[in-house]
Amino acid sequence: MDIQANYIHLEQFNLFDNIPRVVLEEVSNFTTLRSRPKNSYIYHPGDVSEVLFILKEGRIKIGNYSDDGREVIKAIIQPGELFGEMGLAGEEKRNEFAITMKEECSFYMIYVADLKSVMQSNAELSLRLIDRIGSRIRRTESRLESIIFKDSRTRVVEFIKEMVDTVGCVYGDEVLLEHFLTHQDIANLTGTSRQFVTSVLNELKRDKIIKFDRNTILVSDTKGLAALTSTGLA
């Protein structure tokens, strides 16, 4: 992909809204588009943190492994979001993995050293990147606090509500979560088990709050779901 094509695509991302053209052209000059098939590693724990990424298409899961080898998912990356950005904060080696999920993913690669050189001449871009890093750290801390202080059922229900609010497609009074996570992925995100997640989803289905199959969740009672999370009765 040529530099002009990179520029056209990058300017669509919120990160680069109203960034001066000359700055975005410089970023485009050293940006590379890559793709990976589904269920493939983009980086492993221990890899050098010399590149950051912006997801163009697909979804990426970020996580690590527990001492007994279990996968622990820390975040799901959606199109337009940064990942692998901790090199900007001084990280030398990755302490997590990035893996494509159910579909092929395409993403932009930018070397940390190149981006730092641009940040020196554009305060707005620097502030936005610092904000993204801070937001990432806050989300990770929030998920950890949830695992420590909230019961398992609440964590699963609140995660479904979070997905509804962030990536759900609204159809009238219902919200559809398409190409959704496996029950094991939800378990790895919420610190539970696949069997427990299935049990909670079946309860929500029985209560006519959701309908679900292997690939989608349809929230038919958004008010009922919100009530569960706001009252602590999840």
Q: In the listed set 109, 133, 148, which residue is the last one of a domain according to the structure?
A: 148
pLDDT at 1: 52
Same structural domain for residues 156 and 88? no
Q: Any idea what the CATH number is for the domain that residue 57 is in?
A: 2.60.120.10
**DSSP 3-state percent helix, strand, coil across the chain (nearest 5):** 45, 25, 30
Per-residue pLDDT of 23-43, as tens digits, reads 999 999 999 999 999 999 999
Per-residue pLDDT of 141-166, as tens digits, reads 888 888 889 999 999 999 999 999 99
Q: In the listed set 87, 119, 148, which residue is the last one of a domain according to the structure?
A: 148
Same structural domain for residues 107 and 208? no
Which tokens belong to 1? 């992909």
Range of the domain at 203: 150-231
Helix (H, G, I), strand (E, B) or coil at 72: strand
Global model pTM greater than 0.75: yes
CB 79 within 8 A of CB 106: no
pLDDT band at 3 (very low <50, low <70, confident <90, very high): confident
- The domain total for the chain is 2
Same structural domain for residues 114 and 215? no
DSSP annotation string for 146-203: HHHHS-HHHHHHHHHHHHHHHHPEEETTEEEE-SPPPHHHHHHHHTS-HHHHHHHHHH
